[in-house]
């Protein structure tokens, strides 16, 4: 091992605590959501603790060790000591989507937690196969896509789902979260060393944990007691990974009608994961760490496949946030340490124990920092002329954050379901049809721009970047791509059923045509929007760009200056 690039450095602790918080949130969500939505409580909780968490441990350990090894390889090849490994863990959007739109419907139909778990394994495997296959074409996509388009999406996600979300939590529980925030601001924004050279992330987590134990729960949002720790300790149990290939084969042996319909969820989520990981690799290069596109994405896909084969229903991914971990001073050790600790937590059944000792609020300031750095990088690492392209690409991701809040409000509101309201009351129908404003916002527009926002962010920013460079034909091609994605339902189309706003992947039309899915399966109050008018709009944009490119080819303008 190179002496200039050791296995572990002190600042890896800061990166480790930030990445651990990210991963711990997913691990805490799995038992909570699966118990409520998939009936995995009591005896059926074994699917969580004996299969899902050990399977997640396999994928997280493999991925973190690989990306740490990859960082050592890059350091050896370049002779640098400041290389930071790609962050990696469970994909949060996939976790939520697969629970609510794959596993929960199966449980509602069969009342079998095992059937829900098996379909989750099938979905996870499908996502992994798509991610692995995407590695073969992602390098070409990356070369053809402006950096502004790749980084703008990450900045939009960072603003809403990372920075804003955690900022709200900090101000919701200020007594336990603001002291750690102050320490993070000193250590990372001011770049000042703390006494004794202690890592800022470690001190922040320790300070927040101490406050959480000293103050009453109504002031901190967490109940930290010796009794809770004792109970969590008594509930621990060692569970080693179990190969679950036969469980997945059992799904394939079912009638195609049992699983083909879920391709409308699996396919778009797999594609989203490919594009999201690709954007994170570009973000790493913008920070100075140039990792191979194929190897990075292939390892990501194989990690998800390994998760499914050993019992986890949830894809893994290259995390957003590499520039933040790099700015923390983390290298490769934080990735290795995260893989080892998460594996120990999952296999020992001590997820609840860790939650009973350390409040999540103690570490969210680190994740807030990561979101801020990602947003700043989108503007700093692109040509100055492309700043407007970065800006336009922010809107769909910010809309996605807003739509998530709206959907969450409907989920907890009770009473009539959203789809019943929208199909019963004329003002509500007008609201969804875009004819009525609510405090200046069109609810329909918010949902439309949110659906497939990863693609929409990238495409809008790419169109803007090419127009800034006066490459009209290239802008036209991206508009055609937008029309195609919209036409199949990867962007803008949606459906509302009950209190759930879902994707409307237009494979549903084909499935009904061949009899795999019948209209009788749909709720009579389901609201559908297939976005055909938006697809036509993108076609018109492509025609305008192409026509203007033809005109400018015959009436040239003054050449643009070189980008700085």
Q: Using one digit for the tens of pLDDT, what is the confidence trace for 367-416? A: 787 778 878 888 888 888 999 999 999 999 888 888 777 766 665 655 55
**C-alpha 441: how far from its chain's center?**
25
**Do 126 and 234 lie in a common domain?**
yes
Q: Which of 324, 358, 382 delimits the end of a domain?
A: 382
Classify residue 190: in a domain, yes or no.
no
CA gap 57, 344 in Å, rounded: 8
pLDDT at 545: 96
Classify residue 196: in a domain, yes or no.
no
**Do 310 and 412 lie in a common domain?**
no
Tell me the longest C-alpha to C-alpha distance in the chain. 79
pLDDT at 64: 96
**Do 225 and 91 lie in a common domain?**
yes
Contacts with 306 (C-beta within 8 Å, 6 or more apart), sequence order: 58, 59, 62, 128
- Per the CB < 8 A criterion, the answer to whether 368 and 22 are in contact is no
Long-range contacts of 554-560 (CB under 8 A, 24+ apart): 557/470, 560/469, 560/470
**Do 332 and 463 lie in a common domain?**
no
The pLDDT-based confidence of 24 (bands split at 50, 70, 90) is confident
pLDDT at 519: 46
**Do 372 and 498 lie in a common domain?**
no
**Do 12 and 148 lie in a common domain?**
yes
Q: What is the pLDDT of residues 538-551, one digit of tens each?
A: 999 999 999 999 99
CA gap 306, 317 in Å, rounded: 12
CA gap 18, 369 in Å, rounded: 9
CA gap 24, 152 in Å, rounded: 27
Pair of tokens at residue 68: 């740490």
**Do 375 and 387 lie in a common domain?**
no
Query: Which structural domain range is residue 400 located in?
Result: 383-553
Query: What predicted TM-score, i.e. pTM, was given to this entire model?
Result: 0.74
For the chain, give the number of residues.
564
Classify residue 14: in a domain, yes or no.
yes
Pairing of strands 88-90, 316-318: antiparallel
CA gap 228, 333 in Å, rounded: 32
Task: Identify how many contiguous H helices and E strands the chain contains and give both numbers.
Answer: 29, 7
Contacts with 376 (C-beta within 8 Å, 6 or more apart), sequence order: none
**Do 30 and 40 lie in a common domain?**
yes
**Do 34 and 92 lie in a common domain?**
yes
Q: Which among 341, 362, 16 has a CA at the least distance from the CA of 176?
A: 362
Phi, then psi, of 527 in degrees rounded to 5: -105, 130
Residue 499 has pLDDT above 90, yes or no: no
Classify residue 297: in a domain, yes or no.
yes
Q: What is the DSSP letter of 452?
A: T
**Do 531 and 407 lie in a common domain?**
yes
Q: Which of 366, 382, 398 delimits the end of a domain?
A: 382
CA gap 522, 270 in Å, rounded: 24
**Do 318 and 465 lie in a common domain?**
no
β-pair partners for 441: 438
Residue 229 burial by Cβ neighbours in a 10 Å radius (0-12, 13-18, 19+): middle
CA gap 474, 309 in Å, rounded: 41
| 97-101, 249-253, 454-458, 503-507: least confidently modelled range | 503-507
Pairing of strands 441-442, 88-90: unpaired
**C-alpha 200: how far from its chain's center?**
26
Q: Which of 322, 347, 382 delimits the end of a domain?
A: 382
Pairing of strands 441-442, 316-318: unpaired
Most confident region among 194-208, 499-513, 532-546 by mean pLDDT: 532-546
Look at 193 and 473; give whichever has higher pLDDT.
473
CA gap 158, 148 in Å, rounded: 15
Classify residue 84: in a domain, yes or no.
yes
Scored b (16 or more CB within 10 A) or e, 79-103 reads: eeeebbbbbbbbbbbbbebbbbbbb
Contacts with 537 (C-beta within 8 Å, 6 or more apart), sequence order: none
Task: Give the H/E segment covering residue 369.
Answer: helix 364-380
Classify residue 258: in a domain, yes or no.
no
- Number of structural domains found in the chain: 2
**Do 309 and 409 lie in a common domain?**
no
Residue 161 has pLDDT above 80, yes or no: no
Q: Which among 211, 557, 496 has a CA at the least distance from the CA of 358?
A: 211
Classify residue 562: in a domain, yes or no.
no
Residue 184 has pLDDT above 90, yes or no: no
Classify residue 237: in a domain, yes or no.
yes
Number of Cβ within a 10 Å radius of residue 32: 10
Look at 145 and 22; give whichever has higher pLDDT.
145
**C-alpha 208: how far from its chain's center?**
26
β-pair partners for 529: 494
């Amino acid at each position: 091992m190179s002496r200039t690039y050791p296995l572990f450095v002190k600042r890896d602790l800061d990166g480790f605590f930030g990445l651990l918080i990210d991963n711990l949130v997913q691990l805490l969500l799995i038992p909570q959501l699966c118990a409520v939505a998939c009936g995995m409580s009591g005896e059926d909780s074994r699917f969580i603790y004996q299969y899902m968490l050990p399977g997640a441990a396999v994928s997280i350990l493999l991925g973190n060790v690989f990306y740490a090894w990859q960082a050592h390889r890059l350091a050896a090849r370049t002779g640098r000591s400041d290389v930071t490994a790609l962050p990696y863990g469970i994909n949060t959007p996939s976790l939520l989507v697969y629970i609510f739109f794959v596993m929960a419907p199966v449980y509602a139909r069969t009342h079998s937690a095992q059937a829900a778990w098996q379909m989750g394994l099938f979905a996870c495997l499908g996502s992994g196969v798509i991610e692995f296959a995407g590695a073969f074409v992602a390098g070409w996509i990356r070369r053809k896509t402006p950096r502004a388009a790749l980084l703008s999406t990450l900045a939009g996600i960072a603003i809403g789902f990372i920075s804003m979300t955690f900022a709200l939590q900090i101000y919701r529980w200020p007594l336990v979260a603001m002291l750690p925030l102050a320490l993070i601001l000193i250590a990372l924004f001011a770049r000042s060393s703390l006494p004794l050279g202690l890592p800022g992330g470690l001190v922040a987590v320790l300070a927040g944990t101490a406050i959480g134990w000293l103050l009453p729960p109504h002031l901190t949002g967490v109940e930290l007691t010796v009794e809770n720790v004792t109970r969590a300790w008594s509930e621990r149990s060692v569970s080693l990974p179990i190969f679950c290939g036969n469980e997945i084969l059992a799904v394939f042996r079912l009638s195609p009608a049992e699983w083909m319909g879920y391709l409308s969820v699996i396919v778009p989520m797999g594609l989203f994961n490919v594009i999201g990981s690709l954007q994170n690799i570009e973000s790493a290069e913008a920070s100075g760490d140039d990792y191979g596109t194929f190897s990075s994405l292939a390892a990501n896909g194989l990690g998800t496949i390994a998760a499914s084969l050993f019992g986890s229903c949830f894809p893994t991914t290259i995390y957003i946030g590499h520039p933040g971990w790099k700015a923390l001073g983390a290298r490769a050790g934080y990735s290795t340490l995260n893989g080892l600790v998460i594996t120990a937590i999952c296999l020992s059944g001590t997820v609840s124990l860790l939650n009973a000792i350390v409040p999540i609020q103690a570490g969210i300031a680190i994740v807030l920092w990561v979101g801020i750095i990602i947003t700043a990088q989108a503007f700093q690492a692109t040509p100055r002329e492309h700043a407007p392209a970065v800006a336009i690409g922010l809107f769909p991701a910010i809309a996605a954050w807003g739509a998530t809040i709206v959907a969450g409000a409907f989920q907890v509101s009770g009473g009539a379901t959203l789809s019943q309201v929208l199909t019963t009351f004329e003002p509500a129908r007008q609201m969804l049809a875009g004819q009525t404003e609510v405090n200046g916002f069109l609810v329909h527009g918010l949902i439309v721009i949110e659906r497939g926002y990863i693609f929409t962010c990238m495409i809008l920013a790419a169109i803007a970047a090419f127009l800034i460079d006066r490459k009209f034909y290239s802008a036209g091609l991206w508009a055609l791509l937008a029309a195609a994605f919209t036409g199949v339902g990867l962007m803008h189309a949606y459906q509302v059923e009950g209190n759930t706003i879902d994707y409307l992947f237009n494979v549903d039309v084909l499935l009904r045509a061949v009899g795999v899915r019948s209209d009788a399966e749909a709720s009579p109050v389901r609201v559908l929007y297939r976005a055909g008018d938006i697809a036509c709009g993108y076609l018109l944009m492509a025609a305008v760009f192409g026509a203007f490119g033809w005109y400018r080819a015959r009436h040239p303008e003054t050449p643009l200056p070189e980008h700085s």
